[in-house]
Copies of this chain bind each other. A is one copy, B any other.
Amino acid sequence: MRTDPGAMTRPTGYRATGVACGLKKEGRPDLAFLVSDLPAEWAGVFTRNQVKGHSLVRTRNLLECRMPARAVVINSGNANACVGPEGDLAASRMAELAAAAAGCQPDEVLTGSTGVIGKRLDLDRVAHGIAVAGATLGRTPEDAHAAMQAIMTTDRVPKEVSLSFDLCGVGVTLAGMAKGSGMIHPDMATMIAVIVTDAAVSSLVLELALRKACDRSFNRVSVDGDTSVCDMVLLLANGAAGNARLQDPASPDARRFSEALDRLCDRLARAVAKDGEGATKLVEVLVRGAMTPEDARLAASAVARSPLVKTAMFGEDANWGRILTAVGYSGAAFDPGRVSIGLGDLPVCRNGCALDFDEARASEILAGDEILLWIDLGQGESEDHYYTCDFSYEYVRINGSYRT
């Protein structure tokens, strides 16, 4: 597996591009277009926020028809959310335009939008953008990278990953791109990611694999505890590699595919946390020794979400009392007298009590750009993890003036 600028056209049979159509300020790319040469089976997971963007709802409804997909079109700079029936029409129109450009049916086009909520989507600009995109689709890494750039909002770093492996003796490639970087909290999917493969995989196998992979990766990321209305992860498989189609989720090859997808999603999820709005470091919260998996998840989630833990990480302050406090209000069942806490390889609290730890070593660990916080509840065998980031001045700056 590798970080791969231009990953999305690495699998056979995909073309991509990204263009600027004026939805974002300063002429930045804001429309990503991806087309598969062959009809692709697909799966998707979507935000559980009760409020949902119009472009996302359209795609989610398509999933129920189980029709193959030929194209994905995503704009940034505008969420196409909370604008009423006009928003549904805008999503349909976007699909029609993309279908014309890709030479397929509108129902074969998956739509997505991300950006400001409650603002009408400028369809003239989108139409122009899709026309230009249709004419510039290509297979080079540059073309693929342009698509990545066009879905970014406050992301500073593109997040593109690919890996190749064998299925039934045939080499296949899996590639993904993801955008963060604020309004990130796990609730099914927590940002927009598009993953493509040239393997032939049934939509059932895709769906099971995607749910499993998201649950341990994108659903374990928190930047700020806010779950967006536009979050989704799409997975397309066009079969261009020529392997025997994976149909049985229990087969060894389906498992191999599922494991590869797990790894890819984990890498993208870590990248989303590390590039969280204003982040200066990735923080991995690992909870073990919990009585139940749910206790482990609750504890890890509370620590990953705590503004006090996250500001302490920004300040590189070994304030483990805040970690224990967050576990204390998480709802996880535990005995405070049995908890141990550590930073990397340095235990700082044992059985709920302070240890006289080496502050210099703690500072060294906290100065790193990837930090492991571990909590052992001392109650049982369950464990879970969350990826988060520190909370900085920059987060406040970005979000104090996002809309205006």
* CB closest chain-B residue, reference A400: B315
Which A residues between 218 and 268 are near B, CB-CB below 8 angstroms? 224-229
A212 on interface, CB distance cutoff 8 Å: no
Contacts of A326 on B, CB cut-off 8 Å?
A: 226
* CB closest chain-B residue, reference A352: B82
**Complex Cα gap A165–B135 (Å):** 79
A25 on interface, CB distance cutoff 8 Å: no
Given the interface pairs A401-B317, A402-B312, the reply to whether A325 lies near B393 with Cβ below 8 Å is no
- Is B226 in contact with A187, judged by CB distance below 8 angstroms? no
Which listed residue (B305, B321, B400, B404) contacts A79, Cβ 8 A?
A: B321
- Is B225 in contact with A353, judged by CB distance below 8 angstroms? no
Given the interface pairs A311-B395, A312-B403, A400-B312, the reply to whether A49 lies near B325 with Cβ below 8 Å is yes
Interface string of A364-404 (1 = CB under 8 A from B): 00000000000000000000000000011101111111111
- Is A311 in contact with B400, judged by CB distance below 8 angstroms? yes
Interface string of A303-341 (1 = CB under 8 A from B): 001111001101101111110111111000010100000
**Complex Cα gap A168–B401 (Å):** 55
Contacts of A116 on B, CB cut-off 8 Å?
A: 319, 321
Which listed residue (B82, B325, B396) contacts A311, Cβ 8 A?
A: B396
- Is A353 in contact with B82, judged by CB distance below 8 angstroms? yes
- Is A314 in contact with B117, judged by CB distance below 8 angstroms? no
Which listed residue (B226, B305, B318, B392) contacts A403, Cβ 8 A?
A: B318
- Name, among A118, A185, A224, the residue most crowded by chain B CB atoms within 10 Å (CB to CB): A118
State the interface size on chain A (CB cutoff 8 A): 65
- Is B314 in contact with A400, judged by CB distance below 8 angstroms? yes
- Is B308 in contact with A84, judged by CB distance below 8 angstroms? no
- Is B353 in contact with A84, judged by CB distance below 8 angstroms? yes
Given the interface pairs A50-B329, A329-B187, the reply to whether A308 lies near B353 with Cβ below 8 Å is no
- Name, among A50, A351, A395, the residue most crowded by chain B CB atoms within 10 Å (CB to CB): A50
**Complex Cα gap A85–B185 (Å):** 38
**Complex Cα gap A398–B393 (Å):** 11
* CB closest chain-B residue, reference A359: B404
- Is A227 in contact with B396, judged by CB distance below 8 angstroms? no
**Complex Cα gap A317–B229 (Å):** 19
A93 on interface, CB distance cutoff 8 Å: no
**Complex Cα gap A321–B53 (Å):** 11
Contacts of A399 on B, CB cut-off 8 Å?
A: 307-308, 311-312, 315
A67 on interface, CB distance cutoff 8 Å: no
A51 on interface, CB distance cutoff 8 Å: yes
**Complex Cα gap A229–B326 (Å):** 10
Interface string of A100-125 (1 = CB under 8 A from B): 00000000000000001111100000
A139 on interface, CB distance cutoff 8 Å: no
A23 CB → nearest B CB, Å: 15
Contacts of A325 on B, CB cut-off 8 Å?
A: 49, 51, 117, 183, 226-229
Contacts of A320 on B, CB cut-off 8 Å?
A: 118
Given the interface pairs A401-B317, A403-B312, the reply to whether A82 lies near B349 with Cβ below 8 Å is yes
Contacts of A185 on B, CB cut-off 8 Å?
A: 329
Known: A82-B354, A117-B321. 6 other contacts (CB 8 A): A50-B336, A51-B352, A84-B352, A315-B401, A317-B401, A393-B396
3 shortest A-B CB distances, which residue pairs? A117-B321, A315-B400, A51-B328
17 residue pairs bridging A and B, Cβ less than 8 Å apart: A49-B329, A84-B353, A117-B322, A118-B324, A118-B354, A187-B329, A226-B306, A226-B307, A307-B307, A311-B399, A311-B400, A315-B400, A315-B404, A317-B401, A317-B403, A319-B402, A392-B396
Residues of A within 8 A of B (CB): 48-52, 79, 81-84, 116-120, 182-183, 185, 187, 224-229, 305-308, 311-312, 314-315, 317-322, 324-329, 334, 336, 349, 351-354, 391-393, 395-404
